[in-house]
């Protein structure tokens, strides 16, 4: 079944609108931007071919679910379950456009995300950059909304601890020795 | 470009911006600082979340398909061209027919002239047809030898040969 041009245009519009957040979500699961990109293309090409997006009530949440399922299926096919490699933060491929071109901060954020537990990482990406509500995340990940909110807060706290310097570390380490 | 020191988001700065009652709670319950921080300190969470949102995820590569937005446009262009051609053809036909007598009258004249100037020639086909249709053999032979005269002209028409034959030219 081929979609009519209106459906295809709508799917392409959704790709432009949510593609960046979907790609980040996929990269947060796979740990590899190239695999994430492949999964995203696979999902959207299938949607264009089948044209079954019309049945989805919440199209944005449905797209995130499609991406997640595509990645999980691909992992099953590969018969491997690759955890996100913390060293991936050292790779040259960036995930974000940082504010004020602060690429050191972008590297820190990627590293902080990479060391989060997978469940927390998924929730924080979905809520902050995917802009999904906790109810939508709960449906997507098949957890309760309270669990989603709890994971989000834990993840946020860990990110803050990893990314932002603590008040005592901000002091000059040589200050005591001078005194 | 490094971020200016005053713009850097630090735990210290976030703590200073927290409400007073939160700070008092922090002092009273140091051992529960983390849990309070996580579940009750909503303003800090929102500020840090807003800071994270400043990092914009990179856009994906374009889909490896032809843009569907062009498809309806192409279809529309083809349809518009076909409609324009049909309209031009219809207008031309109507304009051609609208001129009275220009096309039909010459054809009638040609038919009359052809009938006058070209008497039926005797061929095997016409001979066979005459033999088959004539009431008798004699009638068929007579018709072959003396073919019927061409149909007379209408009253308002005149034969050019007849008119010329009437002229008395003196040589």
CA angle B145, B146, B152 (to 5 degrees): 155
- Containing domain of residue B109, as a range? 104-153
* Four-residue CA torsion sign, A140, A145, A147, A149: positive
Q: What was the pLDDT predicted at A26?
A: 92
Rounded distance, CA A51 to CA B152, Å? Answer: 77
Task: Answer yes or no: is B43 within a domain.
Answer: yes
Question: Shortest CB distance from A106 goes to which of B48, B55, B60?
Answer: B55
Domain A99-166 has CATH 3.30.70.2860: no
**Partner-chain contact A41 B61, CB within 8 Å:** yes
Which of B15, B33, B53 marks a domain boundary?
B53
Q: Is A97 helix (H, G, I), strand (E, B) or coil?
A: strand
- Cα separation of the two ends of chain B: 118
Answer for the pair A10, A24: CB distance below 8 angstroms, yes or no: no
Decide if B121 touches A, using CB distance below 8 A: no
Q: How far is A155 from chain B (nearest CA, A)?
A: 9
Q: Are the beta carbons of B12 and A160 separated by less than 8 Å? A: no
User: Which residues of chain A are within 8 Å of residue B17 when distances are taken between CB atoms?
Assistant: none
In a domain, B78, yes or no: no
Does the reported pTM lie above 0.95?
no
Q: Do B68 and A9 touch (CB under 8 A)?
A: yes
- Test B37 with A157 for CB contact under 8 angstroms: yes
On whether the CB atoms of residues A47 and A12 are closer than 8 A, the answer is no
Residues of A in contact with B67 (CB under 8 A): 12
DSSP A122-162: HHHIIIIIS---HHHHHHHHTS-HHHHHHHHHHHHHHHHHH
Q: How many angstroms separate the CA of residue B63 from the nearest CA in chain A? A: 6
Q: What is the pLDDT of residues B39-60, one digit of tens each?
A: 444 666 788 888 899 999 988 8
B161 inside domain: no
CATH topology of domain A1-80: Rna Polymerase Sigma Factor; Chain: A (1.10.1740)
What single-letter DSSP state applies at residue A58?
A: S
pLDDT along chain A (179 residues), means of 10: 66 90 91 88 87 78 91 76 52 80 87 91 93 93 93 92 68 40
In a domain, B25, yes or no: yes
Q: Is residue B110 part of a domain?
A: yes
Which residue in chain B has the smallest CA separation from A13? B69
pLDDT in tens, B145-166: 887 766 677 777 777 777 777 7
- Which DSSP symbol is given to A86? G
Do B61 and A37 lie within an 8 Å CB cutoff?
Answer: yes
Q: Provide the residue ranges of all domains of chain A, joining segments of one domain with +.
A: 1-80, 99-166
Whether chain A has a CB inside 8 Å of the CB on B4: the answer is: no
- Domain tally for chain B? 2
Q: Best interface-test mutation with B: which of A153, A163, A166, A170 has the largest number of B CBs within 10 A?
A: A153
Strand pairing of A96-97 and B56-57? antiparallel
Local confidence band at B98 (pLDDT 50, 70, 90 cut-offs):
low
Look at residue B33 and tell me if it is in a domain.
yes
| H helix intervals, chain B | 11-16, 20-28, 33-39, 42-53, 70-98, 104-117, 124-133, 137-145, 160-166
């Amino acid at each position: 079944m081929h979609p009519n041009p209106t459906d295809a245009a709508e799917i392409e519009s959704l790709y432009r609108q949510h593609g960046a957040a979907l790609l980040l979500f996929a990269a947060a699961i796979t740990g590899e931007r190239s695999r994430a990109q492949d999964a995203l293309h696979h999902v959207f090409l299938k949607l264009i071919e089948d044209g079954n997006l019309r049945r989805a009530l919440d199209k944005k949440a449905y797209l995130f679910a499609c991406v997640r399922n595509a990645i999980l299926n691909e992992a099953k096919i590969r018969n491997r379950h690759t955890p996100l490699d913390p060293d991936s933060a050292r790779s040259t491929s960036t995930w974000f456009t940082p504010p004020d071109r602060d690429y050191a901060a972008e590297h820190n954020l990627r590293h902080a995300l990479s060391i989060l537990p997978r469940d927390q990482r998924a929730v924080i990406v979905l809520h902050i950059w995917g802009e999904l509500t906790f109810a939508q995340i709960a449906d997507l990940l098949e957890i309760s909304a309270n669990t989603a909110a709890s994971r989000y807060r834990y993840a946020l706290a860990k990110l803050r601890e990893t990314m932002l310097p603590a008040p005592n570390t901000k002091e000059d380490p040589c200050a005591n020795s001078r005194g | 470009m490094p971020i200016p020191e005053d713009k850097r988001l630090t735990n210290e700065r976030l703590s200073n911006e927290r409400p007073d009652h939160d700070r008092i709670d922090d002092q009273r319950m140091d051992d529960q600082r983390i849990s309070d921080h996580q579940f009750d300190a909503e303003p800090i969470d929102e500020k840090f979340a807003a800071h994270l949102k400043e990092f914009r995820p990179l856009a994906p590569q374009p889909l490896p398909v032809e843009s569907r937005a062009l498809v309806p446009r192409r279809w529309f262009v083809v349809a518009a061209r076909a409609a324009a051609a049909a309209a031009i053809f219809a207008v031309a036909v109507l304009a051609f027919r609208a001129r009275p007598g220009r096309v039909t009258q010459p054809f009638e004249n040609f038919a009359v002239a052809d009938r006058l100037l070209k008497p039926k020639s005797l061929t095997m086909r016409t001979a066979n047809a005459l033999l088959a249709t004539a009431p008798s053999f004699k009638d068929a032979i007579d018709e072959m030898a003396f073919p019927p005269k061409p149909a007379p002209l209408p009253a308002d028409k005149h034969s050019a040969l007849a008119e010329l034959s009437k002229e008395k030219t003196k040589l």
